[in-house]
A = this chain, B = another copy of it.
Amino acid sequence: MQSRMAREIERKFLVRDPRILDGRQGERIIQGYLAKESGSMSTRVRIRGDRAYLTLKSPKAGCSREEFEYVIPVVDAEAMIANHCAGRIVRKTRYLIDHGPHVFEIDVFEGRHAGVIVAEVELPHEHTALDLPDWLGDEVTDDNRYSNFVLATIVSGLAVAEH
């Protein structure tokens, strides 16, 4: 039994210059959505490296949300992704980049989302000052098209990083 209950404050940006990832080692992530009902918690299953997680996230209030996360057997996660996500699946590679006191998570999406590269940073408070590195592009915190759930279900008209 492992868990994490957290209140997430996140800001999200496009990545203007993906050369920042050159030579770095990322971690493969595959995730799917088991249930997503408007106004309720979403239920996400994720395989990250050799571990699997079940994560419940509340709807956003501003840029914060409540989250519960549990480690589950990889074999369960594989069955859920294969049979119970109705194809709402995202594959990506995640890179971590330190910048001052913050860590940016850079997700490079694959498959039908190839070309989409998004950087996310968790902050202690909604108004924490953030010095933006020059490889970032536009902020998309409030642009739902870049939520992983929306990417898992639809993809259209997204900005694609220049290579």
Contacts and interface: CB of A to CB of B under 8 A. Distances in A.
Interface residues of A, number: 29
A80 B54 contact: no
A132 interface: no
Interface in A72-101: 72-73, 75-76, 79-80, 83-84, 86
Number of identical monomers bound together in the oligomeric complex: 2
Contact of A41 (B2, B41, B66, B84): B84
A142 to B, nearest CB: 22
Interface stretch (A13-21, A29-37, A105-113, A133-141): A29-37
22 contacts: A1-B2, A1-B70, A1-B71, A1-B73, A34-B40, A35-B35, A35-B37, A35-B56, A36-B40, A39-B86, A40-B86, A41-B43, A41-B84, A43-B43, A43-B56, A56-B80, A58-B83, A66-B79, A66-B83, A68-B72, A68-B80, A70-B70
Given A1-B73, A35-B56, 7 more contacts: A5-B76, A35-B43, A36-B40, A37-B37, A40-B84, A58-B84, A68-B80
